[in-house]
Amino acid sequence: MKNALCERLGIDYPLFAFTHCRDVVVAVSKAGGIGVLGAVGFSPEQLKEELDWIDEHIGDKPYGVDIVIPQKYEGMGNTSAQEMEEQLWKMVPQEHIDFAQKLLADAGVPEWPDGTTSMGLMGWTEATATPLLEEALTRPGCKLIANALGTPPAEKIKLVQDSGRLIGALCGRVKQAVAHKEAGLDFVVAQGGEGGGHAGEVGSIVLWPQVVDAIGDTPMLAAGGIGNGRQMAAALAMGAAGVWTGSLWLTVEEAHVEEAQRESLLNATSEDTVRSRSWTGKTCRMLKNQWTEAWEQPDTPDPLGMPLQGMVTSDGMRRTATYAGVGDCQKVAFNPCGQVIGQITEKESCRNVVYQMLSEYVDAVERINNLMPEA
């Protein structure tokens, strides 16, 4: 399964695994794909610790880092992260903080040990993401940078490319893909609306070929709805240079996840997800529960824009992840995932997931080849 992108990155298969877990990054890269560490929520010090561990365990295999620099956000234009955060807190109504805290308390989710009720900006601005990028660029094994929201600033693109690395970005619309290409990005990740996290409204099977046609020789990675080799084969048949997967790795053996959260994901069907602004301020696909429903009621606060909503809810993110099995935590937990979660019903190792996908891919290709008339 070699292609030009695989050659440039030094990987055996065009299988990209987005994950917040360093163990998954290492396991997928060692299995022949490439792990991409989602850095949002990390401080520069925490990211350094994670990358130190990856560098120590991954050997000579490559990996990537995914950051979040949205094109538009509240408070945009400030350069100091501290000054920006001070100004942004002035824009957060106390009503929103109280509402979020009440939802957590009613579900019996323990408070954070130090008594704080927010993790701050969490890397959702240029000021907070830049130090993360700079840390990633100190690592020889980091071969690609991805921006999860919008086209990165021109100076960031130049910084990454001048270092000899590839840089790309996600999109959910054709016009966004074209903007990525015109900005000179090395690859584009086209994510259909069924994908987890921040995704657009157009379905994958419609979006992918349109993006391929629109960006020409710029490689497109297909995302949204890929959980087995048949779906991988479909994406490559439509012109994708590889597949970008996320939900697939949420429940693997190597994932750092509490068992209660893993069970919520393994038991979910494809109908159990919803697109909601209730956690980040931008439309994000996740498991629906009492939290997502509460923010949609006419007599409750409307979600704020990014990054304000994340400042309100970040305490809930860490508490529901840490205390996943306590009380009714899963009724208010943040579980971002795509509709493909309905296909994932067993806990497996990353290596088994990779090899199963490749086996299914080969079977799918052979099945199509057998439909061709003999010469």
Q: What is the pLDDT of residue 254?
A: 98
Residue 143: phi and psi, rounded to 5, are -105, -10
Nearest Cα to 336, choosing from 259, 296, 290, 279? 279
Average pLDDT over residues 106-130: 85
- Where in the chain do CATH 3.20.20.70 domains reside? 4-73+124-268+339-367
Average pLDDT over residues 1-15: 93
Q: What is the pLDDT of residue 129?
A: 85
Q: What is the pLDDT of residue 72?
A: 52
Nearest Cα to 32, choosing from 351, 329, 326? 351
In 10 A of CB 278, how many CB atoms?
A: 27
Q: Note the pLDDT tens digit of each residue in 347-360.
A: 999 999 999 999 99
Burial class (CB in 10 A: 0-12, 13-18, 19+), 240: buried
Query: Is-contact 302 353, C-beta < 8 A?
Result: no
Q: Note the pLDDT tens digit of each residue in 201-227.
A: 999 999 999 999 999 999 999 999 999
Q: What is the pLDDT of residue 87?
A: 87
Cβ neighbours for 58, distance < 8 A, ≥ 6 positions apart: 25, 26, 29, 30, 141
Token pair 């994340």: residue: 310
Please tell me the distance from the alpha carbon of residue 272 to that of residue 300, in angstroms, as a whole number: 23
Query: Is-contact 40 124, C-beta < 8 A?
Result: yes
Is the pLDDT reported for residue 125 higher than 90? no
Is the pLDDT reported for residue 177 higher than 60? yes
In 10 A of CB 81, how many CB atoms?
A: 18
Query: Is-contact 34 6, C-beta < 8 A?
Result: no
Is the pLDDT reported for residue 365 higher than 70? yes
Please tell me the distance from the alpha carbon of residue 230 to that of residue 357, in angstroms, as a whole number: 8
Q: What is the CA radius of gyration of the chain?
A: 20
Counting Cα atoms < 13 Å in the Cβ hemisphere of 222 gives: 26
Please tell me the distance from the alpha carbon of residue 184 to that of residue 154, in angstroms, as a whole number: 9
Is the pLDDT reported for residue 157 higher than 60? yes
Is the pLDDT reported for residue 95 higher than 80? yes
Provide the percentage of residues in the chain whose pLDDT is more than 70.
95
Average pLDDT score over the chain: 94
Q: What is the pLDDT of residue 80?
A: 62
Question: Using 50, 70 and 90 to split pLDDT, how confident is the model at 11?
Answer: very high
Q: What is the pLDDT of residue 128?
A: 79
DSSP secondary structure letters along 181-239: HHTT-SEEEEE-TTSSEE--SS-HHHHHHHHHHHHTTS-EEEESS--SHHHHHHHHHTT
Question: Using 50, 70 and 90 to split pLDDT, how confident is the model at 1?
Answer: confident
Is the pLDDT reported for residue 20 higher than 70? yes
Q: What is the pLDDT of residue 78?
A: 52
Residue 310, both tokens: 């994340």
Please tell me the distance from the alpha carbon of residue 112 to that of residue 68, in angstroms, as a whole number: 25
Is the pLDDT reported for residue 155 higher than 80? yes
Is the pLDDT reported for residue 76 higher than 60? no
Q: What is the pLDDT of residue 320?
A: 97
- Domain 4-73+124-268+339-367: assigned CATH number: 3.20.20.70
Please tell me the distance from the alpha carbon of residue 311 to that of residue 90, in angstroms, as a whole number: 12
Tell me 336's DSSP state.
Answer: B
Q: What is the pLDDT of residue 75?
A: 53
Q: Note the pLDDT tens digit of each residue in 242-289.
A: 999 999 999 999 999 999 999 999 999 999 999 999 999 999 999 999
Please tell me the distance from the alpha carbon of residue 53 to that of residue 202, in angstroms, as a whole number: 38
Is the pLDDT reported for residue 79 higher than 80? no
Least confident piece of the model among 72-76, 167-171, 274-278, 371-375: 72-76
Q: What is the pLDDT of residue 192?
A: 97
Q: What is the pLDDT of residue 77?
A: 57
Q: What is the pLDDT of residue 83?
A: 80
Token pair 């969490």: residue: 122
